[in-house]
Amino acid sequence: MRALIQRVTGAAVRVEGAVIGEIGPGLLILICAMQGDTEAQADKLAAKIAKLRIFEDDAGKMNRSVLDTQGAALVVSQFTLAADTSRGNRPGFSTAAPPADGERLYEYFAAQVQAQGVPVATGRFGADMKVSLVNDGPITIWMDTEA
């Protein structure tokens, strides 16, 4: 699985103009299931992200997790994280999981982040979403279970 994590002071996702998921301080997690990904990879990634120390402590060092700060996570599916730009000018997405697998793993991943103790809001798989956020730092981290 691939994830792009952004530390945010707030984030929201809209579908057809209506807010369907919104958080205050925490993490915006853009997530993509790749071909061959499993629930075990989603478990590992969810646990890692929940404990990732990218929030500042009292000394100003990134030493606290979203759990430590009692933040939340907005989890949004984004198959374009599978983009292959190695040939030509049009990205290919053939390495992304098929839609049924992608949706199942997306929902499973969001549930696993919540099971770690992080309040979770979500987008809508396959929808045309508008995501707004205020990146705090800015802090943006790329994670890949294959790396």
79 is catalytic: yes
112 is catalytic: no
Of 135, 145, 127, 131, the C-alpha closest to 43 is 145
Residue 16, CA distances (Å) to 10, 72, 99 in order: 20, 24, 21
Alpha-carbon torsion, ordered 17, 20, 26, 32, to 10 deg = -90
Q: Write b or e for each residue in 23-43: b if 16 or more Cβ atoms lie within 10 A of its Cβ, otherwise e.
A: bebbbbbbbbbbeebeeebbe
Catalytic one of 35, 70, 80, 93: 80
Spatial separation of the C-alpha atoms in residues 95 and 87, rounded to whole Å = 14
78 is catalytic: yes
Spatial separation of the C-alpha atoms in residues 144 and 140, rounded to whole Å = 14
Catalytic one of 6, 79, 112, 116: 79
Catalytic one of 78, 112, 116, 122: 78
Enumerate the active-site residues. Answer: 78-80
